[in-house]
Amino acid sequence: MSLVATVVFATAVSQPISAFPFTYAQKQEDGQSAVFLLKSPNSSPIRIGFGHDPIICPGGKYMAYVVTDGKTDQRITVTETESQKLVRNFVIDGAMAFGAPSFNRTGREVMFEVQKKDGNEILRGDLMQDRQPINVMTMGNSPAPVAFPTYAKLSTSVIFQLDRQWQEIDFSTNKFSTLDWKTWLGGLPSNTKITRIAPCPTNGLITAYSADIPANPPFSAVFIYDSTKGESVRVSPIGSQAHTPVWAQDNISLSLMVKEQSATDFAPYLVRFDGKNLVKVGR
């Protein structure tokens, strides 16, 4: 396994809107609204009630994101991409929080996490049927929430975080497995923490994941793992912190949050992975 640490931010031709996912841009001062950056660098931002973890489905027709007032109103909202017309609101009674929606490869299902008093759950909702989401799993009163459920392997399995460990459940067999991501990290410290995993739901072969790396000072980085080659490429844009990678439908474009060394907050970046380097195309 080889680990390539080269990062190039080069000028690139703007891609069509359909090539990129939405990404969270910034919370407004009133805390009640947020700006979502459209998929093209030349597009205008969309302003919606305060939300986070936005993602666009394969095919580009729908986007899903978390909406919350931080207290009682928490839901997953799905809208049409271009018109912003409401498609579904997934609201669960007794839920304390939602997070991290993920579309399957057809764009018809969305998966997300729910934290409830009687157990943390992963749910699957069907956009085509007006009914309650299906429970995928419940983990009782776990001290750490079930987090970041993401479709993988052509949508036949889901990767999620539980008790600080990354797990995978295969829908066809209902078997669980613990994923040893640290074997992908090369010579990094053993206490490196994987913070977010984003498999490509459209092919399940290329995975992006962010990691907190202990150092002086500590920093975050994004890694891209190609299972066809069995190797990882480390991406740490301009020596900054970086997290929350989200793949677009082309399996090449990626959005992520980046904190420049001189900045006080994170900003979204739109990039393309050329198999060796991360090339910035907009923010």
Share of the chain above pLDDT 90, in %: 5
Q: Which of 27-31, 223-227, 264-268 has the lowest mean pLDDT?
A: 27-31
State residue 13's pLDDT score: 31
State residue 272's pLDDT score: 75
Domain borders along the chain are 3-282
* pLDDT score of 194 more than 60: yes
42: pLDDT confidence band, cut at 50, 70 and 90? very low
**C-alpha distances out from residue 250 to 53, 58, 149, 178, 200, Å:** 19, 8, 21, 28, 9
Which residue has better confidence, 129 or 257? 129
Tokens in use for 157? 């399995």
* pLDDT score of 167 more than 80: yes
**C-alpha distances out from residue 71 to 10, 54, 88, 227, Å:** 42, 20, 21, 41
pLDDT in tens, 89-144: 998 877 777 777 888 888 899 999 888 777 788 899 999 998 889 888 887 665 56
Main-chain dihedrals φ then ψ at residue 14, nearest 5 degrees: -60, 135
Residue 227 makes CB contacts below 8 A (sequence gap 6+) with 205, 206, 207
State residue 248's pLDDT score: 66
* pLDDT score of 1 more than 50: no
Task: Identify residue 146 by its one-letter amino acid code.
Answer: V
Mean pLDDT of 75-88: 83
> Does pTM surpass 0.95?
no
**How is domain 3-282 classified at the architecture level of CATH?**
6 Propeller (2.120)
Mean pLDDT of 250-267: 71
Q: Is 265 helix (H, G, I), strand (E, B) or coil?
A: coil
The mean pLDDT value of the chain amounts to 71
pLDDT in tens, 65-77: 877 665 666 788 8
Closest CA to 153 of 134, 135, 173: 173
Closest CA to 241 of 213, 216, 282, 279: 213
State residue 174's pLDDT score: 82
159: pLDDT confidence band, cut at 50, 70 and 90? confident
Burial 106-123 (b: 16+ CB within 10 A, else e): ebbbbbbbbbeeeebbbb
CB atoms closer than 10 angstroms to residue 48: 17
Torsion angle defined by CA atoms of residues 134, 204, 190 and 256, in that order, rounded to the nearest 10 degrees: -90
